[in-house]
Amino acid sequence: MSQSIEIETEYITLGQFLKEAGVIDTGGMAKWFLSEYEVLVNQEVEQRRGKKLYSGDEIKVEGAGTFVVSSTQK
C-alpha cells in the first residue's frame, strides 16, 4: 500500500519530496541519500535531487516504502 503525499504546487523536487515524506531530515541530505539508496520514480532509478515530481508520480524508496504524489492544485 502506498502513502499519498499532497503538494500545493504544480510539482515538487525529489529532494523536497524526500524531506516532506520524512525519509530524510534535511534537504542537504538528499544528494547523499540518493547516492546510497535506490529510489524509483515511476519504476525508473532516479538519482537527481532536482527531478520534478508531478501529481500521479509513484516513488519507491528502499527501506521507506511506496509513495504517490497528489496535488491539491486545480
Question: Which structural domains are found in the chain, ordered by start?
Answer: 3-71 (3.10.290.10)
- Report pLDDT digits (tens) over 10-57: 999 999 999 999 999 998 999 999 999 999 999 999 999 999 999 999
Give yes or no for residue 65 having a pLDDT over 80.
Answer: yes
Report the distance separating Cα 61 and Cα 40, nearest Å: 7
Is the pTM here over 0.85, yes or no? yes
Confidence of residue 74 (pLDDT cuts 50, 70, 90): low
Q: What are phi and psi of 66, to 5 degrees?
A: -115, 135
Q: What is the mean pLDDT of residues 55-66?
A: 95
Q: Is 12 strand, coil or helix?
A: strand
Q: What is the pLDDT of residue 27?
A: 86
